[in-house]
């Protein structure tokens, strides 16, 4: 069912059914394939009716697409999750401490653990944040840590998402759909629930309210608007949290506070969960052409009049060049060895590393330092000679814009096809909420799956789909 060199999460390497999948396999064998095909169509229709779509850019017009959903869950044992959760918490604590340090005393630079130019010359570093101390000391209120698996007990962090990690609405809708389609499967399998995420998020954000708050904290979600690729998620989360969904033109600075327009006049906002990039957040402080942000919001923020989640300037923590220093960052701020490993990374800004990468492009994955969504990358083993020649020129022209990594043998999980189960590569994005009260990690997260046989690209913008992720109870 799967290549022997690849670890399959259901069948292992030797075609022996793994324990986490035992109950699911028993249930699956009892099912009529025709019924399952009908259920798959029903699930697709449910997603379509709910409006779970995303926009794909890069064409003459944005194209709205349905994210494919697969009905076979990805199942993680309780003990596996316990180790992952411990590693995720350690990493998120280190990221938050790192941000507080580089916008403060910069001890990690003074200690020689990170070169000063990696910070000062990084386009994600915001000088406007120097000396700013967010409420509760929280910079990264919501974090998504992308994980890949290569063996039974081998997990790697592929990248950190510390700006505005997306996809949590799909995690929630995937579970809701599975509960609706297969209630009997949940009756015989104890799975940790994820439905409390919006309530937990609301509580976590409210705990980060600034000192200027008067009464119960007012929370709002700032969206760029209906044409944004993740607008469905913005509206979904605002609705589920019981928060207001606002755009820049709904907000203004009134008496030193950021206030939103209501039927009773302008009402101050205490916590703004922004889904707008730094550059567009405040035309007075950043891009003067921006129509998406709020003029003067950074001045209110620096004065302690509002909490912005995630804090401006957090993007430097998910920069892929900074990622290569994460083992040092974790050790520096926690005093512990990292529980979760990084993928080995060559920084192309280093001449020796660049020479190695140029000599081995056919075997490596090369990514833009600030890239996302699967764009701007080269997967050497599947690239054409023409692609490699073109990428070689890009690397030589702007080496500091790229990092390179070995091509990992990503684990597979079965998907349901017309001919039965078939293995496909997956990754996992757990979601982490940070507040002064602690760190809350939702069990599981969003599993993204490469639906094309042999493909390693799981991004929805590149043809990937999603699965429900089950973390089993003890």
Give the DSSP letter string of 418-445.
TTEEEEEEEEEE-EEEEETTEEEE-SS-
* Domain end among 406, 421, 444: 406
Contact 436, 442 (CB under 8 A): no
- Is 36 part of a structural domain of the chain? yes
The CATH number that applies at residue 383 is: 3.30.1490.270
pLDDT of 334: 97
Residue 128 and residue 44 share a domain:
yes
**Boundaries of domain holding 33:** 19-210+306-341+408-471
| pLDDT of res. 374 | 57
CA angle 264, 267, 268 (to 5 degrees): 175
- CA–CA gap between residue 197 and residue 456 (Å, rounded): 29
DSSP string, 150-195: EETTEEEEEEEE-S----HHHHHHHHHHHHHH-HHHHHTS-B---T
Report d(CA 320, CA 315) in Å as an integer. Answer: 10
Q: Is 219 helix (H, G, I), strand (E, B) or coil?
A: strand
Closest to 146 in 3D by CA, of 429, 372, 357: 429
Q: Give yes or no for a contact between 44 and 69, defined as CB atoms under 8 angstroms apart.
A: yes
Inside any domain, residue 242 = no
As for how many domains the chain has, the answer is: 2
- Domain match, 143 and 202 both: yes
Q: In terms of residues, how long is the chain?
A: 474
Answer whether 109's CB lies under 8 Å from 116's CB: yes
Supply the pTM of this predicted model.
Answer: 0.92
| pLDDT for position 64 | 59
Contact predicate 41/35, CB 8 Å: no
In the chain, which residues have pLDDT < 50?
1-4, 56-62
* Tokens standing for residue 387: 């692609």
Kindly state whether residue 74 falls inside one of the protein's structural domains. Answer: yes
Same domain, 430 and 353: no
Q: What is the pLDDT of residue 369?
A: 83
- Crossing angle of the two packed helices 326-334 and 78-102, in degrees rounded to 10: 80
The CB density around residue 201, as the number of other CB atoms within 10 Å, is 25
Angle, CA 143 vertex, CA 139 and CA 145 arms, to 5°: 135
Are 223 and 231 spatial neighbours (Cβ–Cβ below 8 Å)?
Answer: yes
Token pair, residue 354, equals 């660049």
In a domain, 11, yes or no: no
For residues 91 and 182, membership in a common domain is answered with yes
In a domain, 458, yes or no: yes
* Residue 5 belongs to a domain: no
* Whether residues 426 and 352 fall in one domain: no
Same domain, residue pair 355 and 442: no
For 70, the token pair is 């697969």
DSSP state of 25: H
What is the C-alpha separation between 271 and 277, in angstroms, rounded?
A: 16
- Cα 373 to Cα 375: distance, rounded to the nearest angstrom: 5
- Give the per-residue pLDDT at 52: 67
Token reading at 213: 């708050």
The tokens describing 408, both together, are 């990992």
Query: Measuring CA to CA, which residue among 379, 414, 342 is closest to residue 146?
Result: 342
On whether residue 349 sits in a domain, the answer given is yes
């Amino acid at each position: 069912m799967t290549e022997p060199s690849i670890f399959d999460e259901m069948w292992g390497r030797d075609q022996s059914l793994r324990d986490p999948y035992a109950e699911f396999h028993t249930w699956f064998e009892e099912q009529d394939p025709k019924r399952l095909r009908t259920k798959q169509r029903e699930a697709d229709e449910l997603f379509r009716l709910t409006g779970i779509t995303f926009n794909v850019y890069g064409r003459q017009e944005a194209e709205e697409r349905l994210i494919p959903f697969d009905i076979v869950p990805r199942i993680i044992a309780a003990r596996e999750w316990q180790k992952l959760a411990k590693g995720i918490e350690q990493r998120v604590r280190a990221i938050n401490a790192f941000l507080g340090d580089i916008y403060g005393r910069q001890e990690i630079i003074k200690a020689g653990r990170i070169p000063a130019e990696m910070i000062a010359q990084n386009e994600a570093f915001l000088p406007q944040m120097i000396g700013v101390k967010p409420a509760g000391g929280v910079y990264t209120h919501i974090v998504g840590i992308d994980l890949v698996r290569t063996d039974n007990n081998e997990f790697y962090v592929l990248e950190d998402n510390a700006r505005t990690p997306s996809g949590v609405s799909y995690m929630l809708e995937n579970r809701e759909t599975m509960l609706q389609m297969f209630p009997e499967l949940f009756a015989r399998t104890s799975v940790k629930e994820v439905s409390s995420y919006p309530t937990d998020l609301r509580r976590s954000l409210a705990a980060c309210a600034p000192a200027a708050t008067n009464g119960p904290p007012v929370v709002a979600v700032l969206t760029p608007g209906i044409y944004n690729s993740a607008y469905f998620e913005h509206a979904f989360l605002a609705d589920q949290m019981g928060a207001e969904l606002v755009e820049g033109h709904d907000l203004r600075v009134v008496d030193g506070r950021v206030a939103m327009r209501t039927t009773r006049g302008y009402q101050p906002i205490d916590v703004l969960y922004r889904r707008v990039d730094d550059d567009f957040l405040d035309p007075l402080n950043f891009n003067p052409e921006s129509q998406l942000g709020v003029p003067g919001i950074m001045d209110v923020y620096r004065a302690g009049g509002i909490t912005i989640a995630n804090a401006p300037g957090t993007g430097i923590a998910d920069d892929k060049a900074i990622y290569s220093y994460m083992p040092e960052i974790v050790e520096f701020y926690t005093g512990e060895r990292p529980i979760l490993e990084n993928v080995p990374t060559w920084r192309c800004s280093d001449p020796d590393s660049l020479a190695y990468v140029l000599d081995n492009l056919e075997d490596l994955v090369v990514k833009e330092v600030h890239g996302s969504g699967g764009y701007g990358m080269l997967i050497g083993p599947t690239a054409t000679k023409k692609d490699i020649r073109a990428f070689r020129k890009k690397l030589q022209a702007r080496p500091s814009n790229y990092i390179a990594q070995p091509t990992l043998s990503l684990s597979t999980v079965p998907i349901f096809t017309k001919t039965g189960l078939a293995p496909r590569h997956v990754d996992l994005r757990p979601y982490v909420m940070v507040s002064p009260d602690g760190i809350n990690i939702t069990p599981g997260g969003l599993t993204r799956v490469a639906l094309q046989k042999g493909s390693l690209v799981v991004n929805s913008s590149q043809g990937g789909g999603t699965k429900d992720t089950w973390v089993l109870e003890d």
